[in-house]
Amino acid sequence: MKTLSNKAFDAVTQLFHNVSGIRLNESKHALVTGRLQRLATEAGETDLESYVDKLLRGGAPAQEMTRLVDRLTTNETYFFREPQHFNDLADRLDALAPGQDFKVWSAASSSGEEAYSVAMLMSDRLGPGTGPAPWQIVGTDLSTAMVESARRGLYPTDRARLVPPAYLKRFCLKGQGEQTGQVLMSRELRSRVRFEAGNLMQPLPDDLPMFDVIFLRNVLIYFDNDAKAGIVRRVLGRLKPDGVLYTGHAESLSNLNLPVRAVGTAVHGHA
């Protein structure tokens, strides 16, 4: 595999940063080269530098930029990741008044494991969501490929290793034949989650409602402080006054001068 020149790497990662807000440093050189090489091959380009040049000059088809963002966005996750948040959410669901509606936003939903984890918990605690206790889950992600993957709801079995056995039996279908080694979210669960493309660096979609809980986990680590602050401020604009924001346990908001207060470990409310 041909190595991407430093000049081309800097140019591509700057272009990616301009579109996504995500900064890829030199430690990602091999990753970027590999993913660009696959993109170039799929586009019928035999020379990697020529393909990159077309991207930078706008000579590639418009959809190629979407493909670039899809490939360079890291999307590694699994069900019920950082379980403390799900324990906190369960307590909040149990405290709801009968018939009270509840809305959750998975703001960087990747391939959907987080949103479906929430859906399992909410269906268990509140019922199917179509009766006296309505609930709604929205998942958004920068990558359109991840959005499509989330809508399919089909995953390698290993990603479901933390799913409680009762939930596996109730909400997950075990793959057979060509789908051996995979699990499919039940039709009921898939019908309760809406996935859309969304860029947290840009104004949020007008049809996003106000949410009781927002998951914004393990995404802020990819941004500089100014971008982090901008993202959190936009997201807070969709959080109800008494709602909570979950961030990754390795992410801190303390130095960003934001109108938030800690209400638990990696759990935040409006200040």
- pLDDT of the residue at 132: 63
pLDDT tops 70 at residue 32 = yes
Please report whether residue 120 resides in a domain.
yes
**Same-domain check for residues 119 and 41:** no
Higher pLDDT, residue 167 or 57: 167
Query: What's the Cα-to-Cα distance from 121 to each of 135, 220, 249, rounded to whole Å?
Result: 11, 25, 21
- pLDDT of the residue at 75: 60
**Same-domain check for residues 24 and 101:** no
For residue 29, what is the domain's CATH number? 1.10.155.10
DSSP per residue, 90-127: HHHHHTSPTT--EEEEETT-TTSHHHHHHHHHHHHHH-
**Same-domain check for residues 21 and 137:** no
**Rounded to an integer, what distance in angstroms lies between the CA atom of residue 127 and that of residue 260?**
32
Percent of the chain with pLDDT over 70: 96
For residue 241, what is the domain's CATH number? 3.40.50.150
Give the residue from 230, 239, 249 showing the smallest Cα distance to 21.
Answer: 230
Please report whether residue 1 resides in a domain.
no
Please report whether residue 38 resides in a domain.
yes
Please report whether residue 126 resides in a domain.
yes
**Rounded to an integer, what distance in angstroms lies between the CA atom of residue 197 and that of residue 24?**
21
Host domain of residue 169: 83-270
Please report whether residue 188 resides in a domain.
yes
pLDDT tops 70 at residue 76 = no
**Rounded to an integer, what distance in angstroms lies between the CA atom of residue 220 and that of residue 251?**
7
**Same-domain check for residues 135 and 259:** yes
**Same-domain check for residues 46 and 134:** no
Mean pLDDT, the chain, integer? 90
Active site residues: 35, 141
- State the total domains in the chain: 2
pLDDT tops 90 at residue 65 = no
pLDDT tops 80 at residue 106 = yes
Among 72, 106, 123, give the residue marking a domain's end.
Answer: 72
Query: What's the Cα-to-Cα distance from 103 to each of 111, 192, 194, 236, rounded to whole Å?
Result: 20, 11, 12, 14
pLDDT tops 90 at residue 46 = no
Higher pLDDT, residue 13 or 118: 118
The one-letter amino acid at 269? G
Higher pLDDT, residue 18 or 93: 93
Beta bridge partners of 246: 215, 267
**Rounded to an integer, what distance in angstroms lies between the CA atom of residue 86 and that of residue 118?**
7
**Same-domain check for residues 222 and 180:** yes
pLDDT tops 90 at residue 133 = no
**pLDDT tens for each residue of 154-202:** 999 999 999 999 999 999 999 888 888 999 999 999 999 999 999 999 9
Among 31, 49, 72, give the residue marking a domain's end.
Answer: 72
Among 18, 41, 72, give the residue marking a domain's end.
Answer: 72
- pLDDT of the residue at 179: 87
**Same-domain check for residues 99 and 24:** no
Give the least confident one: 38-52, 160-174, 242-256: 38-52
DSSP per residue, the chain: -PPPPHHHHHHHHHHHHHHH-PPP-GGGHHHHHHHHHHHHHHTT-S-HHHHHHHHHHT-S-THHHHHHHHHHS-----TT-SHHHHHHHHHHHHTSPTT--EEEEETT-TTSHHHHHHHHHHHHHH-SSSSSS-EEEEEEES-HHHHHHHHHTEEEGGGGTTS-HHHHHHHEEEP-GGGTTEEEE-HHHHHTEEEEE--TTSPPPTT---EEEEEE-S-GGGS-HHHHHHHHHHHHTTEEEEEEEEE-TT---TTS--SEEEEETTEEEE-
**Same-domain check for residues 121 and 188:** yes
| DSSP-derived pairing of the beta strands 182-185 and 211-216 | unpaired
